[in-house]
Amino acid sequence: MNAVLQALFHIRPFTEALKLQCVVEDYNNNNNNDDGVGRGCGECTVCALNKTFDEMNNIAELNNEIIDPYRIRTRLAQFMGDGFVLGQHQDAHEFWSNLIFVAMEKRNRSHVQDVWLGATQHYRLCQACGNASHLTPLNPLNGLTLDIQRSDIKSLSDAIRHYFSDDSAAAADDDEHHHHQLKCTKCQQHTKVTRETRIYSAPRVLCIQLRRFNGNRQRINKTISFDQELNLSSFIATTASSASSSSPPLPPPPILRYRLKSIVNHRGISINAGHYTAIVSNDHHHHDDEAAARRCYYLFDDDKPIIEFGSSDNNNNALQEGYLFFL
């Protein structure tokens, strides 16, 4: 819990969305204030996160060295029941997923949802005429779960390319095998197709989970390097690929870049045992060019002293053994 909360606390779009959500809740409940600052209902998960993050911001004024996230614990215990037990090891990705889900409870749309949710679309591309067909409905995109076991995957970019890579299906040339081939709905040919997944709408903040555990729930101790910026522009759904779907037409694909905001590391031998730490970027506090040149990371490990890493220190094991990446 501590590592995930530290990682989320340093994601500015998320903390700003929480504040905006409180303003909306106040307005809907006729409890809005002249100063435009949301007070919230005081009972929901959004309020629990806001109050906890406020305490983290004001820790010096509170004259405390430790913040107890008891409000968040209480809300998740009510939601998860026996699935959330104090003092018991929990998977960080499961904790994040449940926390975000509860923060959006009973709302068809929210500022929190706008931060984390996007959509993907799967389709088949005819290699004979280029027609995109058999499009599925839009699928919610609330993060990527990436395989890292393949020998050719050495970086986060490699894992993402594999996730979005074309899955080719060869069609036989002989007429007697046509019933095993895929027939294009446009050119009517039985031909080779590629099955592709593309981003239809991108979340403001992307959560990436690496499959750090095998089928026996043991940890995969593999170093995965990463860049501070991630360009996903080539994986955006284009107008041509969505032309035969019932989805509204898309404009030309924009530039889609993400900058690393925070990481949750796992140290241990299995999914059932270990220790989580958080690494965060100073981008949370600085946005100018000078700050970008000074970009660095900070390691948070419970009550241990905070450790600083240089912006170019990508060979450090603490930066390369990540489990969750927030961009």
On the question of pLDDT at 315 being above 60, the answer is no
pLDDT, position 128: 81
Please write the tens of the pLDDT for every residue from 240-259.
Answer: 444 444 555 555 557 899 99
On the question of pLDDT at 20 being above 90, the answer is no
Mean pLDDT of the chain: 77
In whole angstroms, give the CA distance from residue 9 to residue 105. 20
* Domain-located, residue 272: no
On the question of pLDDT at 13 being above 90, the answer is yes
* Domain-located, residue 151: yes
On the question of pLDDT at 135 being above 70, the answer is no
Please write the tens of the pLDDT for every residue from 27-48.
Answer: 455 454 444 444 556 678 888 9
pLDDT, position 182: 76
3 state SS of 92: helix
pLDDT, position 321: 79
CA torsion through residues 25, 62, 86, 266, sign? positive
Q: In 3D, which of 204, 242, 299, 266 has the Cα closest to residue 123?
A: 242
Contacts of 213 (CB under 8 A, 6+ apart): 219, 220, 270, 271
Q: In 3D, which of 7, 52, 114 has the Cα closest to residue 42?
A: 52
pLDDT, position 180: 42
pLDDT, position 156: 92
DSSP 122-139: EEEEETTT--EESPPPPE
Q: How many domains does the chain have?
A: 1
On the question of pLDDT at 200 being above 70, the answer is yes
* Domain-located, residue 65: no
Q: Label residue 51 exposed, middle or buried (CB < 10 Å: 0-12, 13-18, 19+).
A: middle
Whether pTM exceeds 0.85:
no
Please write the tens of the pLDDT for every residue from 158-177.
Answer: 999 999 886 644 333 344 33
* Domain-located, residue 240: yes
272: its two tokens: 């059932």
Which segment of 72-76, 228-232, 288-292 scores lowest on mean pLDDT? 288-292
* Domain-located, residue 157: yes
pLDDT, position 218: 87
Per the model's pLDDT, the better-predicted residue between 288 and 97 turns out to be 97
Residues spanned by the domain of 178: 117-256
* Domain-located, residue 158: yes
**Domain containing 226 — which CATH number?**
3.90.70.10
Tell me the average pLDDT across 106-115: 75
* Domain-located, residue 285: no
On the question of pLDDT at 62 being above 90, the answer is no
* Domain-located, residue 179: yes
pLDDT band per the 50, 70, 90 thresholds, residue 237: confident
Highest mean pLDDT pick, 101-115, 145-159, 294-308, 313-327 = 145-159
In whole angstroms, give the CA distance from residue 173 to residue 180. 10
